[in-house]
Amino acid sequence: MNEETEIEIGANPIAEAIGAAEDIADPLDGLAEKCAADPGAAFTPEVLERLAELKKDDRAAFELLRSQLKKAGCRVTALDEAIAEESGDTGRGPTQADILIDIAQTAELFHAPDGTGFADLDINGHRETWPIRAKGFRRWLARRFFEATQGAPSSEALQSALNVIEAKAHFDAPERIVHVRVGGLDGRLYLDLGDEAWRAVEIDATGWRVAEAAAHRRGLNGTLASYRETVKVALVHLDATDQSERVVDAIRATASDTDDDIREMDEDEAMTRRALDLLGSRRNDRYEAALAALREDTRVWWADLLAGELGEPEEGEEPATADAEGLRRFLEAEVMPWFDGRKKELANRPLIREQAFGEALDPDKLERLGRYEVHLDRKLERMLSMLLRLKDLRAGAVPG
């Protein structure tokens, strides 16, 4: 018996194990607050593992957390890549829900003050606005899915995708006032004609005209294509070579978004300069210290370069080496110039936006739109007359 392990009297190993398990905190608790203080907090292995699980089990909750992390300053694009690598399913084809969510990105999402999600759709050259839960939006989504896959989505995939799309409209998209048939904005009155083309009439102090924003949006789609050189043309005065700015980002970004992106670039550049200072020091571990001082996405860029995933070195170019000198060359020749070019792109987003709008103009379309003003039918004339009379009645200008 004296060779047997003694068990302490009163100890309950099972209860102790359960208690210890209950004490383990969820790595996602307070993650947004942690990222606000440390942008790298979301890239720890245990957090990436939990994020991958959440994305798989509850996509809507994952998108909500992702939106909070983005607002806290986390680099969500790099985070998405890290989660995909953690999940190990990068070789798996997209699910039906993933395809539906990607299709919805071509729509312009927003939400009303009461939280209802809406989508602006470009259909046959005109704009249609539908609530995300309405049949009109579901029919459009199913049709686009069929065009992409030659199949129909399951009801479960459609419902899962709608949950995510609605969350994106609520948390990641702007808030707008929604009107039915008649509405006003910036001193102008808009009257929905209720026709098949979804046209509306814009009325202001100078007169009225048919508002055909959708025709311009349709032309704008061409400027978003990856093969177009819209950004290069807009920034030709900068003599830039490699562009990373997307036209769609330049169009959608607000002044506040651009300020946030520039501030993020400044922070990233400061971390890189700190790494360069470490590489120039006399420390024995200067390579390791400098690598640790860089942001996660910069370290991934360096690792890909070392692994040869970015192509072979050009003639006369020294190959990347995993030492202090190799890292210094990489930061000075690749990363720092990228910062300079990227900040110029951000500062010149208005030029990119103007170039895209200019390329989207169709002179023939504009001529046809001009003819609409001449050919409005009697129904429109009567509706305008009724509206003006109603205005006079409310103002007390017309007796009894």
The residues spanned by each domain of the chain are: 31-92, 97-177, 240-358
- Output the pLDDT for position 238: 52
201 contacts 191 by C-beta, under 8 angstroms: yes
Distance in angstroms (rounded) separating the CA atoms of residues 119 and 109:
4
Q: What is the pLDDT of residue 277?
A: 93
pLDDT of residue 364: 52
pLDDT 10s digit of each residue in the chain, 400 long?
444 444 444 555 555 544 544 455 788 888 888 888 887 888 888 888 888 888 888 877 888 888 888 888 888 777 877 887 777 655 455 788 889 998 998 899 999 998 899 999 887 767 788 999 999 999 999 999 998 888 888 888 899 899 999 999 999 898 988 887 787 777 778 787 776 667 777 788 877 776 654 344 444 444 444 434 555 545 545 555 555 556 556 666 777 887 888 888 888 889 999 999 999 998 899 999 999 999 888 888 888 888 776 666 666 677 888 899 989 998 998 888 888 877 777 777 777 666 665 655 555 555 555 555 555 556 677 777 888 888 888 877 555 5
Burial class (CB in 10 A: 0-12, 13-18, 19+), 374: exposed
Q: Give the span between the Cα atoms of 146 and 134, in whole angstroms.
A: 19
Q: Which two tokens stand for residue 146?
A: 């069929």
**Burial class (CB within 10 angstroms; exposed 0-12, middle 13-18, buried 19+) of 388:** exposed
User: How many angstroms from the chain centroid is the CA of residue 89?
Assistant: 22
Contact 383, 191 (CB under 8 A): yes
Do 317 and 184 meet the contact criterion of CB atoms below 8 Å apart? no
Whole-angstrom distance, CA of residue 158 vs CA of residue 272: 44
For position 111, what pLDDT does the model report? 92
The pLDDT of residue 248 is 55
Tokens of residue 253, six digits: 């970004």
Residue 78 near residue 304, CB atoms below 8 Å: no
Q: In what order do the strands lie in the sheet with 182-185?
A: 182-185, 188-192, 200-204, 207-211
Per-residue confidence (pLDDT) for residue 157, from 0 to 100? 86
Measured distance CA(51)–CA(42) in Å, rounded: 9
Please report where in the chains the tokens 């992106």 appear, as a residue.
261
Instruction: Give the tokens for residue 150.
Output: 């030659």
Listing DSSP states for 165-231 in one string gives HHHHHHHTS-B----BSEEEETTEEEEE--STT--EEEEETTEEEEE-HHHHHHHHHHHTSTT--HH
Model pLDDT, residue 132: 93
Q: pTM score, two decimals?
A: 0.38
Rounded distance between C-alpha atoms, residue 258 and residue 270, angstroms? 18
Residue 2 is classified by DSSP as T
The CA distance from 242 to 338, in Å, is 9
**Six token digits for residue 267:** 């922070």
Element containing residue 184 per DSSP (H, E): strand 182-185
